[in-house]
Amino acid sequence: MGKIGLIIKREYLTRVRNKTFILTTILTPLLFVVFIAGSIYLSVKGKEDLKVAVIDNNGYFKNNLKNTANVIFEFPAGIDTSNYLDKGYTAILILPKFENTEKAQYIVRSKKSIGLGTKESIESKINAAIEDNMLEQAGVRRNELDSIHTKSQFAELKSLQEHGNKAEENNQTLAYGVGYASGILIYITMLIYGMMVLRGVMEEKTNRIAEVIVSSVKPFELMMGKIIGIGAVGLTQFFMWIVLIIVLSTTAQYFIPHDTLQQVQALQQNGGVMPGGGMMQASESAQKIYGVQHVLGTANWPLIVGCFIFYFLTGYLFYAALFAAIGSVVEDVQSSQSLTLPVTMPIIFSFLIMSVVIYSPDTPLAIWSSLIPFTSPTVMMARIAYGVPGTVPYWQLITSMLLMIAGFLFTTWLAAKIYRTGILMYGKKITWKEMGKWAFKKS
């Protein structure tokens, strides 16, 4: 085994044997689940509950202004802007008399400011009520109106995507979930493992062990050994997560009753319909499990996992080299902070772009930021979930990958030159200008 192999082995083993590694490997998926469940819970529950007193100058809204999940409209007598708070209302809505010719001003007053979502939902309820009023005036009868409202809620949009000759079902919700999750995962791991490289290099420099080791191996071997070793730790962690997920989901299957499982299999074989022309009805839980499996089946998992590993590795190598270069020029945590900022900024920036791109994966911003190596690992992962070559054409994927490879080769080359000088330099505050000089001077 070569010397770089020894270094990789040390970097890898000291980290993998560490108790914190084992703990984070087990706890991170749990935290992830808690985080997702928590944010779903908050987005459902966290909305403001409003009790709105309405002053209606038309006398029409009382029966037509419909409550929403968290806004309740009431029409008490003798209410005005001075006493609604005392009577237990959170807001007061003043509806002026209809003026059919122009847009009317409706006013809602409250002590706390009302959120944008709530404002919009109140607005749409008022509009719906006005619409009903106009339809009634145009001669639609009341009971007809109600039955139209209930009957017209059946549209369910199923989107299909051209795939050669046949159209295949695609699922935006899944793409959104998978894209977002893998984008976040790449973002977090690039930061965590990048910072791990930074700390490792700084440790070697401030401990002065760098000088001992550099007298045995080339600085480049020391730097690459560290980067590769820590990258291997990252891959190990992913691998353990995948194993964990498989083990958990297989164990979970044992808790599903046997007949439900058989029904699920029957549904799978027959494309979602029970055999026997509807004589047998699948149970509700079997249908739910089938639904989840069916939705998960629409994603191209080998491609997503493959791309994920590729973008994790190249993105990590790209940034780890920069972090190593920074680590080699600083001696204390304080001065490292101001120098790491320009490296962490693009990572954070790519996360922000990703959270926009996840809603619209086809915009120029999405395309460009998924080609440029600074942002592409995070952003491209968000887009890939929407489908290759549908949303991401092959040329974009290949260009992005080639640029990513070129990118990390470049940052590694650059970092090696800064590292070589920086790791043995003590007692001097190094500026960006000096680092540039080391990087681009001929050796």
Encoded tokens for 169: 């079902």
Kindly state the smallest distance separating residue 117's Cβ from another protein, in Å.
50
Stretch that binds another protein, among 163-171, 203-211, 256-264, 266-274 (CB under 8 A): 203-211
Q: What is the x/- site pattern for another protein, positions 144-183, by CB under 8 A?
A: ----------------------------------------
CA 198/CA 196 separation, integer angstroms: 5
Kindly state the smallest distance separating residue 330's Cβ from another protein, in Å.
16
Encoded tokens for 442: 């001929």
CA 233/CA 279 separation, integer angstroms: 54
Encoded tokens for 94: 């003043």
For the chain, the 3-state helix, strand and coil shares in percent, each to the nearest 5, are 65, 5, 30
Query: Residue 424, interface with another protein (CB under 8 A)?
Result: yes
Neighbours of 35 (CB within 10 A): 12
Footprint (CB under 8 A) of another protein, residues 208-267: 208-218
Exposed (0-12), middle (13-18) or buried (19+): which is 432, by Cβ within 10 Å? exposed
Handedness of CA 165, 169, 173, 178 (dihedral sign): negative
Query: Residue 203, interface with another protein (CB under 8 A)?
Result: yes
Neighbours of 303 (CB within 10 A): 14
Query: Residue 10, interface with another protein (CB under 8 A)?
Result: yes
Nearer to another protein, 232 or 425 (CB): 425
Kindly give, in sequence order, each residue whose CB lies less than 8 Å from that of residue 395, ignoring residues fewer than 6 positions away.
Answer: none
CA 360/CA 380 separation, integer angstroms: 12
Kindly state the smallest distance separating residue 349's Cβ from another protein, in Å.
34
The amino acid at 159: S
Nearer to another protein, 13 or 33 (CB): 13
The amino acid at 172: Q
Nearer to another protein, 209 or 242 (CB): 209
Nearer to another protein, 413 or 426 (CB): 426
Nearer to another protein, 125 or 205 (CB): 205
CA 352/CA 215 separation, integer angstroms: 44
CA 311/CA 151 separation, integer angstroms: 48
Nearer to another protein, 58 or 206 (CB): 206
Kindly state the smallest distance separating residue 332's Cβ from another protein, in Å.
15
Strand runs labelled E in 203-266 = none
Stretch that binds another protein, among 22-30, 92-100, 201-209, 344-352 (CB under 8 A): 201-209
Q: How many residues bind another protein (CB under 8 A)?
A: 21
Query: Residue 14, interface with another protein (CB under 8 A)?
Result: yes
Kindly state the smallest distance separating residue 228's Cβ from another protein, in Å.
16
DSSP classification of residue 94 = E
Kindly state the smallest distance separating residue 198's Cβ from another protein, in Å.
17
Stretch that binds another protein, among 81-89, 185-193, 207-215, 405-413 (CB under 8 A): 207-215
Which residues are at the interface with another protein (CB under 8 A)? Answer: 3, 6-7, 10, 14, 203-204, 207-218, 424, 426
